[in-house]
């Protein structure tokens, strides 16, 4: 079986054009958001289990300045350590 056509002409050694700063900049532009600090840690929660549990227990609240399309940021612990899910 040969290589599928979608993999033709790929330059896998080249750096990605999808850099985080560009993605965040464009999301801010599209959502008309001001520049805001984002949490230093991001956790992918594709099925929403973590966010659902943290919301149910009162340990999550929305982060209005988040430029991406998911908008729940849990704040956990007595020091209010924030991270983006």
Let me know if residue 55 belongs to a domain. Answer: yes
Query: Stretch 51-74: mean pLDDT, rounded?
Result: 73
Which residue range forms the structural domain that includes residue 42? 20-82
Q: What pTM does this model have?
A: 0.51
Query: Stretch 28-36: mean pLDDT, rounded?
Result: 88
Let me know if residue 63 belongs to a domain. Answer: yes
User: Contact at 8 Å (CB) between 51 and 85?
Assistant: yes
pLDDT at residue 29 in the model: 93
Let me know if residue 15 belongs to a domain. Answer: no
* Other CB atoms within 10 Å distance of the CB of residue 3: 8
User: Contact at 8 Å (CB) between 51 and 45?
Assistant: yes
Let me know if residue 5 belongs to a domain. Answer: no
User: Contact at 8 Å (CB) between 60 and 46?
Assistant: no
Query: How many structural domains compose the chain?
Result: 1
If one compares 34 and 36, the residue with the highest pLDDT of the two is: 34
Let me know if residue 10 belongs to a domain. Answer: no
Q: What does DSSP assign to residue 7?
A: G
Mean per-residue pLDDT of the chain:
75
Please report which confidence band the pLDDT of residue 80 belongs to, taking 50, 70 and 90 as the band edges: very low
């Amino acid at each position: 079986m040969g290589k599928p056509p979608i993999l033709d002409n790929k330059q896998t050694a080249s750096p990605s054009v999808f850099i985080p700063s560009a993605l965040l900049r464009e999301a801010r532009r599209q959502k008309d958001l001001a520049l805001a600090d984002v949490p230093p840690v991001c956790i992918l929660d594709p099925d929403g289990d973590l966010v659902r549990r943290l919301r149910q227990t009162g340990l999550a609240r929305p982060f209005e300045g988040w430029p991406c399309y998911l908008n729940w940021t849990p704040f956990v612990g007595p020091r209010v350590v924030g991270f983006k899910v």
